[in-house]
Structure 1
Amino acid sequence: MSVVIRACRALAGHVLGVPAALAELAFLILAGPFLLVPRARPGVLAGAVRLVDAEVVRLRLFGGVEVSGYDGRRALRYLARRWPIGVLGGLVLTLLVFGAGLGVQLAWQWGRGRPFDDMEPTAFLVLYILVGGLVLLFLEIMGFIGLVALERRVARLALGPSPTELLEHRITELAETRAGIVAAVDQERRRIERDLHDGVQQRLVALAMLIGRARRGRSPELLGELLRQAHDEAQEALGDLRDVAWRVYPTGLDSLGLRDALATVAERAGVPVTVRYGLGERPATQVETAVYFVVCEAVTNAAKHAGARAVTVEILKEGAVIIVRTRDDGCGGADPAGGGLSGLARRVAALDGRFRVDSPTGGPTTITAELPCG
Structure 2
Amino acid sequence: MRRFLRRALRGTLGLAIGAMTAVAECFYVLFGGLALTVPALRQPVLAGARVLSEVERRRLEKYFGEENATNYTDRRAMAYLVPRCVIGLLCAAIFVLILLGAGSGVIIAAQLFEGQSPGGGAPADWYDPVTTVLFGGLLVFLALQGLIGAATLDARLAKRFFGPSRSEQLRRRLSELTTSRAEVVEAVNGERRRIERDLHDGVQQRLVALGMLLGRARRATDPEHASDLLRQAHEESQRALVDLREVSWRVYPIALDSDGLHPALEALAERSGIPVHLRVDLPQRPPAAIETVVYFVASEAVTNTIKHAAATRIDIDVERDGGRVRVRITDDGTGGARESGGGLSGLAMRVAAADGRFTVDSPLGGPTVVTAVLPCG
**Contact 2:50/2:77 (8 A) holds in 1:** yes
1:288-299 equivalent positions in 2, closer than 5 A: 288-299=291-302
What SS class does the counterpart of residue 309 from structure 2 fall into?
coil
1:306 aligns with 2:309: yes
Q: What is the alpha-carbon distance in structure 1 between the residues aligned to residue 85 and residue 31 of structure 2?
A: 14
Change (3 A) 1:53 1:262: same
Which structure 2 residue ranges, 5 or more long, are not aligned?
A: 97-117, 119-144
> Are the equivalent residues in 1 in contact too, given 2:49–2:81 (CA < 8 A)?
no
Give the C-alpha shift of residue 88 in structure 1.
Answer: 7.6
Q: Is the 8 A contact 1:49 1:72 kept in 2?
A: no
**Mean Cα displacement is larger for which, 293-302 or 43-52?**
43-52
Answer with 307-316 or 206-215: which moved more: 307-316
Alpha-carbon contact 1:187-1:339 (below 8 Å) kept: no
Q: Which residue of 1 aligns with 2:30?
A: 29
Counterpart residue type for residue 78 of structure 1: Y
Instruction: Kindly state the Cα deviation for residue 333 of structure 1 after the two structures are TM-superposed.
Output: 2.3
Cα offset, 1:357, TM superposition: 1.4
1:209-254 deviation digits (Å, cap 9, x = unpaired): 1111111112121011101100011001111111111001000112
Secondary structure of the corresponding residue to residue 305 of structure 1: helix
Which deviates further from its counterpart, 152-161 or 70-79?
70-79
5 Å matches for 1:31-50?
31-32=32-33, 33=35, 36-37=39-40, 41=44, 45=47, 48-50=50-52
Report if aligned partners of 1:306, 1:331 keep a CA contact under 8 Å in 2.
yes
Q: What is the DSSP-based 3-state SS (H/G/I as helix, E as strand, rest coil) of the residue aligned with 2:68?
A: coil
Give the structure-1-normalised TM-score.
0.75
Which residue of the partner structure matches residue 338 of structure 2?
335
Q: Deviations over 1:164-220 (max 9, x none)?
A: 112111101101111111111111111111111111111111111111111111212
Q: Find the aligned partners of 1:148 and 1:260 in 2 and give their Cα distance.
A: 46
Compared with structure 1, are the counterparts of its residues 93 and 301 closer, same or farther at alpha carbon in structure 2 (3 Å cutoff)?
Answer: closer
Superposed, which structure 2 residues align to 1:196-207 within 5 Å?
196-207=199-210
Q: Decide whether aligned partners of structure 1 residues 188 and 64 sit closer, same or farther in structure 2, where only a CA change above 3 A counts.
A: closer
Q: 1:358 to 1:37 in 2, by over 3 A?
A: farther
* Cα distance in 2 for residues equivalent to 1:16 and 1:202: 68
What CA deviation, in whole Å up to 9, does each residue of 1:134-172 have, x standing for no partner? Answer: xxxxxxxx9999877654332112223222112111101
Query: 2: distance between equivalents of 1:11 and 1:359?
Result: 31
C-alpha distance in 2 between matches for 1:8 and 1:332: 31
Query: Residue in 1 aligned with 2:68?
Result: 67
Within 1, Cα distance between the matches of 2:95 and 2:364? 51
Consecutive unaligned residues of structure 1, counting only runs of 5 or more, are 95-107, 109-141
Deviation string 1:39-67 (CA, Å, 9 cap, x unpaired) is: 983x8635643454246536865x77443
Answer yes or no: is 1:269 the counterpart of 2:268.
no
Percent identity reads: 50
Instruction: Tell me if structure 2 keeps the 8 A contact 1:199–1:240.
Output: yes
Contact 2:60 2:66 in 1 (8 A): no
Answering whether residue 368 of structure 2 is matched by residue 365 of structure 1, we say yes
Aligned length: 343
Q: Distance in 1 between matches of 2:155 and 2:180?
A: 30
Q: How does 1:315-334 map to 2 (within 5 A)?
A: 315-334=318-337
User: Per the alignment, do residues 276 and 53 of structure 1 end up closer, same or farther by CA in structure 2, a change over 3 Å counting?
Assistant: farther
Instruction: Give the CA deviation at 1:26.
Output: 1.1
1:212 and 2:215 aligned: yes
Report the 3-state secondary structure (helix = DSSP H, G, I; strand = E; otherwise coil) of the residue aligned with 1:253: helix
Q: Does 1:252 align with 2:255?
A: yes
- The separation in 1 between residues aligned to 2:337 and 2:12, in whole angstroms, is 43
Determine the structure 2 residue equivalent to 1:354. Answer: 357
The SS at the match of 2:327 is: strand
Indicate the residue corresponding to 2:197 in structure 1.
Answer: 194
The reply on whether 1:53 has 2:55 as its aligned counterpart is yes
User: What secondary structure does 2:358 align onto?
Assistant: strand
Per the alignment, in what secondary structure is the counterpart of residue 366 of structure 1?
Answer: strand
Determine the structure 1 residue equivalent to 2:81. 79
Aligned to 2:244: 241
For residues 329-353 of structure 1, give each alpha carbon's deviation from its aligned partner in whole angstroms, at most 9, with x where no partner exists. Answer: 2222223223321221122112211
TM-score where L is the length of structure 2: 0.74
Asked if 2 retains the 8 angstrom alpha-carbon contact of 1:13 and 1:59, the reply is no
